[in-house]
Structure 1
C-alpha cells in the first residue's frame, strides 16, 4: 500500500476511535456526523483488512490489529505535537520564560531518590519556575519508550542501566553510586568494622523497601545467580520509615550511599557500613528525543542535571558520584 494514496483524515478518525471506543463520541470530538465516522471506519476496515472494532455492550472494542496500530498512531501524534509546539514557540516574538510559564513535569523515579535528589529538584523548581508542578511516578523495570515518546511522562530516572532505550529515546548517565548498609544502635554491626564481607552481610536480618519484587532487584538477582539470598524480615512501601525502623530494631538496610547519608542527617545514631567487595550501579536520565525540541523540556533536563550537581555538592564527593537508585 502506497501511503501517498491514503486519506490521512482516516487515521485521525482511527486515533480518536481508539480513545473513545464510541462512534457518537468520536463524531462529537471531530465535529462531524456519526454517519461520517461510520463511513470512515468502513474505509479503514478495507484498508487494513480487519474489522478494527467489534460492537459490544460496553462500546466498540478494538481488535488486536487496531491495538497494534494504536502505538504507531500515538508516536505520530507525539511527534506532531512537538513540531507544532516548536513552531509556536519559535514564532517571531515568542520567548520561553520558565518563571512565567505553567507546566506539569512528570518524572518516573526510584524510591531512594525521595530522600536525596528529589527534594533538591523540587527546591530549584520552586525557585526558578514557581508556576510549574512536579509529579513523580514509581519506577518499574520495563521499557518506557512509548511513555516518553508520547509525552505521557517527561523523564525517567533509571537504576542500573536496566531500562531499555530505543530509536525514540535517549539517555545519559547522571552518576554512579555505591551500595552501602545502614545499621542502628541495636544491630550487631553498629559497633563493628566499617566494611563487611558478603557472608556477614547475608547473615543479618534485612528491611526492604518494596518498589518491586526481589526477583527483579539487581542486587538480589546477582545474589541468586550465586546461590545466595538475603533474609528479608520486614518490608515497607517506601524509604520514609527506614530511619525509625532501623533505630528501633536490629535490622539493617541496603541503599545508595547518598540516600544513606541523607537518612543519617535525620537519624544521626545510624551508621554507614560499606560492602566488600563493593557494589556499584549507575543512575541514568532518559527522555524522548523529539520532546527536547520543546524549550520547556530542554530546560527541565538542565534543571535535573543542576539538581544532581547541587546534591553532589551538598552530600560530599563530586557531582558525578552522588547516590541514587535502589537496593
Structure 2
C-alpha cells in the first residue's frame, strides 16, 4: 500500500537522515539525542511504511539501499528547508559556533586556507572549518547530501542544482632547484618531469576531468594537451618520471636537481617563499584555468552560507588581483 505523506511522522525522516549521515545507529542516536533502541524502532517503522530495508548492516557500517540513496538528497533538502523556515534567518559571525565543511585539494588548501583563517580569527573566532579531500569521494553526492558546504576546484560542467563563484585563475609554470635564465623546449626535453594527477587515469577521466552525477572536476593537474602539442614534432620529449596524487611533496623531490615539476603558478610562488626552488616560465603556453567555489542551490538565501561564500571570495581577493594584473 502506498504510504500517505499526511500520516508520516517527520521525526522518522530526521532519524533516516542521521543514519544516512553517520552510517551507524549509535552515532545517529547521539546526533538526534535519542536512544539506540528508539533509532532502531524508528528505522523499523520507516522500513515498514516504505517497504524497503533502507539500510543493511555490514562490517563497515549501515550501508544504504538504492531506495535510500535516491531518497537521501531529497530528505536532506526538505529538512534544511524546514529548518530555515522555523529558525532565525540571522547569522552573527562574531558569536557563531558553526562548523563549515569545505572540500579542497592540497593545492587550493595551501593557497586559500592561511588567509581564510586570518579572517576567521579576526571576525568569527568560534567558527570551525573542516577541510575534506576533494578527491577519492563522490563530490556531487556529498554536496547533494549536505555533507559539504562548499567545494573548491576546477570544474568543466556544472549541473543546474549547483551554483559557483570564481575565486582565482592560474596557468602552469616549471619549478626547479636550479635557476635558469630561460627554459627552451630543447632544455625542457632533456629534463625528467614530475606532474600531479589525482588518479584520473584509473577512474576514467576524459580530457583530465572526472565526471560524477553531472559534475566534472579536474583530476589531471597539468595541461597535458599543451605539453603534448609543444613536443609533437620534437625529436626528444621530456620524460614524465614521476606522477603524484598530491602537490606538497614537490619541494622535497626537487632536492634532486635532475627533476623539475610542472605546477600551478600560485602554488609555485608559495613554494618559492619557503623553499629553495626557482620558478621558470614554460616554453609553451598553457590553459588558464579557473578555481571556483561550488555549492548547492538550496543554500541560496541562507545567511550563514552567503557569509561563507563571501568569506571565500575575500580570502582569495589577492589572487584575483594578481592574476588580473
Task: Tell me if structure 1 keeps the 8 A contact 2:167–2:293.
Answer: yes
- Identify the residue that residue 106 of structure 2 maps to in structure 1: 111
Indicate how the Cα distance of structure 1 residues 207 and 131 shifts in structure 2: closer, same or farther if over 3 A, else same. Answer: same
SS across alignment from 1:252: strand
- Identify the residue that residue 258 of structure 2 maps to in structure 1: 250
Alpha-carbon distance in 1 for matches of 2:45, 2:251: 63
- Identify the residue that residue 150 of structure 2 maps to in structure 1: 155
Alpha-carbon distance in 2 for matches of 1:117, 1:55: 39
Alpha-carbon distance in 2 for matches of 1:154, 1:33: 26
Which one has a bigger Cα radius of gyration?
1
- Identify the residue that residue 222 of structure 1 maps to in structure 2: 225
- Identify the residue that residue 303 of structure 1 maps to in structure 2: 311
Structure 2: 5+ residue stretches without partners? 206-218
- Identify the residue that residue 183 of structure 1 maps to in structure 2: 176
- Identify the residue that residue 8 of structure 1 maps to in structure 2: 8
C-alpha displacement of 1:33: 9.6
CA offsets, 1:260-282, max 9 Å, x none?
11222223551322341333211
Task: Tell me if structure 2 keeps the 8 A contact 1:149–1:291.
Answer: no
Task: Tell me if structure 2 keeps the 8 A contact 1:115–1:263.
Answer: no
Deviates more, 1:111-120 or 1:228-237: 228-237
C-alpha displacement of 1:254: 1.1
Structure 1: 5+ residue stretches without partners? 322-327
C-alpha displacement of 1:302: 0.7
Alpha-carbon distance in 1 for matches of 2:33, 2:94: 39
- Identify the residue that residue 88 of structure 2 maps to in structure 1: 89
- Identify the residue that residue 325 of structure 1 maps to in structure 2: none
C-alpha displacement of 1:235: 5.3
C-alpha displacement of 1:204: 2.0
Task: Tell me if structure 1 keeps the 8 A contact 2:101–2:131.
Answer: yes
Indicate how the Cα distance of structure 1 residues 100 and 275 shifts in structure 2: closer, same or farther if over 3 A, else same. Answer: farther
Written as runs of structure 1 = structure 2, the 5 A alignment for 1:136-285 is 136-140=131-135, 144-159=139-154, 161-162=155-156, 164-185=157-178, 190-193=179-182, 196-197=184-185, 201=188, 203-209=190-196, 211-213=198-200, 216-217=219-220, 219=222, 222=225, 231-234=239-242, 238-267=246-275, 269-285=277-293
C-alpha displacement of 1:246: 2.1
C-alpha displacement of 1:303: 1.2
Indicate how the Cα distance of structure 1 residues 218 and 53 shifts in structure 2: closer, same or farther if over 3 A, else same. Answer: closer
Q: TM-score, normalised by structure 1?
A: 0.72
Alpha-carbon distance in 1 for matches of 2:316, 2:110: 13
Residue 41 (structure 1) aligned to one of 33, 40, 47 = 47
Alpha-carbon distance in 1 for matches of 2:138, 2:58: 32
Alpha-carbon distance in 1 for matches of 2:255, 2:310: 38
Indicate how the Cα distance of structure 1 residues 272 and 168 shifts in structure 2: closer, same or farther if over 3 A, else same. Answer: same
Alpha-carbon distance in 1 for matches of 2:42, 2:170: 58
Alpha-carbon distance in 1 for matches of 2:17, 2:137: 25
Alpha-carbon distance in 2 for matches of 1:33, 1:142: 27
Alpha-carbon distance in 2 for matches of 1:279, 1:58: 42
Q: TM-score, normalised by structure 2?
A: 0.72
C-alpha displacement of 1:290: 2.0
Alpha-carbon distance in 1 for matches of 2:318, 2:61: 52
Alpha-carbon distance in 2 for matches of 1:269, 1:27: 53
Task: Tell me if structure 1 keeps the 8 A contact 2:116–2:311.
Answer: yes
Q: How many residues align?
A: 297
